[in-house]
Amino acid sequence: MRMKKYAAALLTATTVIGSLAACGKDKPAKNDPTPAPATPAANTPAPDGPTAPVATPFPDRDLKGQAFIIGDHWSPETPAAPANTTQEEQQAYREANFKKYNFRMQSKGVSSWDDMTNTCVDTIVAGTPAADMFELDYRFVAKPMSQGLFYDLATLKELDFSEEKFLPAVTNLMKKGNAIYGMRTQVSEPRGGVIFNKALFKAAGLSPDLPYDMQKKGEWTWNNFKDLCAKLTRDTNNDGVTDVYATVSQGGETLQCLVASTGEDFFAKDANGDLINNCRSQKVVDAMNFAQELYNLGYECPQPADSNWDYFFNLFQTGKAAMTFGQEYMLQPVGQPYGQEGMPGEDIGFVLPPKPDGQAQYYSYVCDNITIIPSCFDAAKASDIAFAYNVYTAPVPGQDDPDAWLDQYKNHFNDKRAVEETLPYFNDGKSTQFLVSTLIAGLNVGDLVWQYPFAGKKPSDVVDTIWDNWQAQIDAANGKQ
């Protein structure tokens, strides 16, 4: 696992206390579908705390007391106190580096989730950015990036993207030619997979751990998944009406997970960093056809008439279906999708999407927050920011437990196998790809995925109806219009 060496240092959010003046608005996040990092950083000095570990050597530099802000949409005005020894050690290490290099740095909420894109764009365009850096939800990246508002990080010698602390999926996503416009120094949050109800597996005469066993043996494949769906879809009272379905999912998650399982996405990048419409790729078409096949076979619970988009949460939770394609955060807190009551945690499991038959590797997708430096800064200021951030995100000496990042997820499951067997795939450096649609301003993937199950049409025909519109938006993102 490429990121393992640094995991303990990087799983915490980039937050540290300091007497810093806030820039911009300071509103709490609301209706945020992307949770803040699960384990906040430790930033208030702890009484009788540990001695600071020996600092990683950096070039001598006096940052002259500058106080840098990493702007986000979730960090509180006053950072939380250290919650454990790991956080205390990180606090002490950062404090030692603050003193040595004469600076401060903290994460701070500068906007609500709803207003973050406008806050980022408007303040950078005005030349008075609300923060020295922004940590942006992946959905907020396309608009400011398309306007040239991100600094080219590849020009900053203070940042070495060959270091293991930089997440390659984000570096590659944000690379355009030789330029790099965004970065991430934390492990990825687990995203797309299959959430399953063990009790309904038992009721169908199946082992409640069957998905884990199949995943472990390399047998968690599309055909085996389809066979499993046939057994889980049941008419329990013999009245000719299905009472329990194999799956119930929001169409976007079903398609995104199955497309990702092929190792591809609806969009791609070529060798020059230009965006490509990948919806006619055979792998993508095969994934959409497979999703439609599952629906047509009666394994997917149809959306009830006049229901809201999130109908599937309640239907899965109340035992109407044995599985749902979804993201790991839907299990917060233990076993309760979106925090709702009703589903005991020990009855819930989580595995990756099944893979196409004949494919060796399992794949899923990630979509993380991305850190940028505003392009309005001059070279000297950008250099100072980059130096400070490199020091601030340096791994804490001695915190090298390769599985430390998994600790924050143990409270989401009463099921060790999800944490020990499934979640590691999301940070092994080979099993995930970042959603490329992140980079296309104005493009709505829902134009395609919300048409699932495609009302009797072939998925490829539906792609044809939106192709020209999407291609125009891709051309614009590539600067060809």
Q: What is the pLDDT of residue 303?
A: 92
C-alpha distances in Å from residue 193, one per residue of 251, 333, 361: 14, 17, 15
Mean pLDDT of each 10-residue bin along the chain, 481 residues long: 44 35 33 38 38 65 98 90 86 95 96 94 97 95 92 97 91 92 92 94 97 98 98 96 95 95 95 92 97 97 90 89 90 48 65 98 95 98 98 90 80 83 92 91 91 94 96 89 65
Q: What is the pLDDT of residue 9?
A: 43
C-alpha distances in Å from residue 117, one per residue of 135, 284, 444: 11, 30, 16
Neighbours of 19 (CB within 10 A): 7
Q: What is the pLDDT of residue 201?
A: 97
Global pTM reads 0.82
Angle between helices 282-296 and 459-477 (to 10 degrees): 140
**355 CB-contact burial (10 Å; exposed 0-12 / middle 13-18 / buried 19+):** buried
**What is the residue whose two structure tokens read 């965006």?**
275
How far apart, in whole angstroms, are the C-alpha atoms of residue 137 and residue 68? Answer: 20
**Under 8 Å CB-to-CB from 128, ≥6 apart: which residues?**
23
Q: What is the pLDDT of residue 345?
A: 52
Is there a cis peptide before residue 333, judged by omega within 30 degrees of 0? yes
Q: What is the pLDDT of residue 332?
A: 58
Name the 3-class secondary structure at 193: strand
**What is the residue whose two structure tokens read 């389809």?**
226
C-alpha distances in Å from residue 38, one per residue of 329, 399, 462: 10, 18, 38
**What is the residue whose two structure tokens read 């939770």?**
317
